[in-house]
Chains A and B, each alone.
Chain A
Amino acid sequence: MSIFVDDDTRVVVQGITGGEGKFHAGQMIEYGTNVVAGAVPGKGGQEVHGVPVYDTVDEAVEAEDADASVIFVPPAFAADAIFESLDTDLDLAVAITEGIPTQDMAKVNKRLDETDTRLIGPNCPGIITPGEAKLGILPGNIFSEGNVGLVSRSGTLTYQVVDNLTERGLGQSTAIGIGGDPIIGTSFVDALEAFEADTDTDAVVMCGEIGGEDEEQAAKFIGEHMDTPVAGFIAGRTAPPGKRMGHAGAIVSGSGTGTAQSKIDALNDAGVPVGDTPEEVADHVEDFL
């Protein structure tokens, strides 16, 4: 088993005719993902990689029975694309786009409360269930099938940790990049809750970073609700206050909230060992299994 995506997931790619959308749709298909449609306004009737393109997500769902979307739409139009997914009642929408205005995301966030659609991202690498499906831009070849769940705010850090796991024969059930923006759909807690319920996930890795309080909330959730062991990693120990470290969300505020230390302490208090290096994270996972 796995969480959120598997063999049966039927994917519509929003923005499939753009450069990135086209390239990654191809990569997703090559990985074995069930890409059933594309959706691009004004491009209905075309085909990309043999996949039919529709003008709206609604038509794509109607014709191809899609139940999940991946969004490769430029920032100015991305919130609209997310709303289109939410209003079409898909089970899952994965927004890869980086640079969506925060006030747009606040409105999206409000709508999320009113729908059953799960949003992953934005500004994220996507989600992969190794051997079954990949929705996003993660390089499929570094992943391997197994029983370790992984949730992370960062793309490349995910790849690094997965590489350390795969190298030791520790395969993954599902890996999710939840995104580096201040307002995101799926939180650490949402992913951890799903991993806890998944019978094929026997250990979880959580990679957080400075900024916000999501990691602290995740620590609380782990302490109170999880039996599955979790190993942690927090990036940004050396980040100076007030500077945005690449991600819009990765900033230690002037008052000292959102620091790496407060997150590490919270995780340790919940019984979660936090690795000093990605290698050490893999050590902890090995100990669990």
Chain B
Amino acid sequence: MKLHEYQAKSLFADAGIPVPDSRLATSVDEALGAVDEIGYPAAIKAQVHVGGRGKAGGIKIATDREEAEQYADEILGMDLKGYTVDQVLVEAGVDFVDELYVGVTMDRGEGKPVLMVSTEGGVNIEEVAESNPDAIAREHVDPAFGLHPYQARKVVYEAGVDADVALDVASILSTLYDLYEENDASEIEVNPVMITGDRDVVAADAVMNIDEDALFRQSDLADMAEASYEDDLERKAGEYGFDYVRLSGNVGIIGNGAGLVMTTLDLVDYYGGAPANFLDIGGGAKAERVTQALDMVFSDDNVDAVVFNIFGGITRGDEVAKGINEALEQFDEIPKKVVVRLAGTNAEEGMEILNTDLVEVEKTLEDAVQRAVANAEEVTQ
């Protein structure tokens, strides 16, 4: 779960990390009220869950009231990589002389959290990691002990941060690690940490992602979650509780288990089709889930044909077949051709139940995918 910049910064501020003075605004009037209090220059920053906001035109620096009005008007309501901007953070501009990158994340390979510091802040850190990996200093943390303060100092000095601000940066890093642990974050990144002419250190941006699997014990953060969906379909998937990802093709895909659904997508592509979505109905799905899943793909205007592939372990083929029949019997005319393939637990019972007036049936995954791809081609021709 991603937090907005303003949410992360409020956690930073509460923990004692210096952040610029700022206000959240949802209208041009509110934004102007905010700049009147904060003064100029002021940054107007779109609060949406996408990276590269600056380059995409979602962050502007206003030097007077006229500019502030113009930028707030431009950014509020704009479409930023598929997301509509409905709130901006109005923030005091920082007069900086240097920019750093600091972050805490989980190193999967090591199974340990890792601190990262670089003096090449303010630019895309992933590009730095590619082109100049030595420019990022790293320090792993033993998760059983937590962070020893010396480790934060060590990694800051190793990165070559100026000596007069090194201890301030190390202190920010220590606090970030505490926040990482307390909030079950999967990642915290400050890019940039700005160093001002007066040698003050300020967290000018904030990226904070929370481990969704830990939300059961992070109820305050769960309440902060602002459902932000790219479109109505993702919203619907969220409501149904499906693992769903929308893609650009026209073959709708429903299956069980992440690996098998991914494989089904790959096979659609392999046989010359284009997958429209990833939709995992999960283990042990009953008839109702099946109905909801079909509703999802039928509501997607891009979908021309559907493949429904189930390999039952804990999911039972007869339950799935019942759900498919129930869902399709509601229609006078089936909106999109559905190819079904059932294997595993109770698959044979399921095949017998399936109403073949409503669906096409195939025995193997490969055959089912090829038939769905052909069905989709028929529609587009």
Contacts and interface: CB of A to CB of B under 8 A. Distances in A.
**Bound together:** yes
A250 B267 CA distance: 18
Interface in A228-250: 233, 235-240, 243-250
Contact of B258 (A137, A237, A247): A247
Given A76-B216, A160-B260, A106 B270 contact: no
Interface stretch (A4-12, A47-55, A87-95, A273-281): A273-281
Given A235-B263, A247-B258, A103 B181 contact: yes
Interface stretch (B12-20, B157-165, B311-319, B326-334): B311-319
Given A139-B313, A155-B313, A238 B260 contact: no
A168 interface: no
B129 interface: yes
Contacts, number: 174
A207 B270 contact: no
A139 B345 contact: yes
A278 B108 contact: no
B344 interface: yes
B262 A239 contact: yes
A105 B257 contact: no
Q: Is the interface of B mostly helix, strand, loop or mixed?
A: mixed
A225 interface: no
Interface stretch (A37-45, A107-115, A197-205): A107-115
A278 B278 contact: no
Contact of B126 (A103, A239, A255): A255
Contacts of A67: none
B106 A125 contact: no
B144 A101 contact: no
Interface in B206-236: 211-214, 216-217
Nearest to A112: B111
Given A139-B312, A155-B257, A183-B111, A238 B247 contact: yes
B312 A250 contact: no
B112 A106 contact: yes
A250 B186 contact: no
B120 interface: no
Contacts of B130: 255
Interface string A71-102: 00001100000000000000000000001111
Contacts of A183: 106, 108, 111
Which size class do A's interface residues fall under? 35 or more
A278 B263 contact: yes
Nearest to B127: A255
A247 B259 contact: yes
Nearest to A136: B313
A236 B366 CA distance: 16
A107 B313 contact: no
A202 to B, nearest CB: 25
B366 A209 contact: no
Contact of B109 (A101, A160, A213): A213
Contacts of A156: 255-257, 259-260, 311, 313
B36 interface: no
Given A76-B217, A107-B144, A111-B144, A207 B312 contact: no
Interface in A247-289: 247-250, 253-255, 260, 276-279
A141 B337 CA distance: 32
Nearest to B345: A139
A101 to B, nearest CB: 4
Contacts of B345: 139
B262 A246 contact: yes
B266 to A, nearest CB: 5
B349 to A, nearest CB: 13
Interface of A: 75-76, 99-103, 105-107, 109-111, 125, 137-139, 142, 152-160, 163, 180, 182-183, 207, 209-210, 212-213, 217, 233, 235-240, 243-250, 253-255, 260, 276-279
Given A76-B216, A247-B258, A279-B364, 6 more contacts: A155-B259, A157-B263, A207-B259, A209-B259, A212-B109, A277-B270
12 contacts: A103-B181, A106-B143, A109-B111, A137-B314, A138-B313, A139-B312, A156-B311, A158-B259, A182-B108, A244-B245, A246-B280, A247-B259
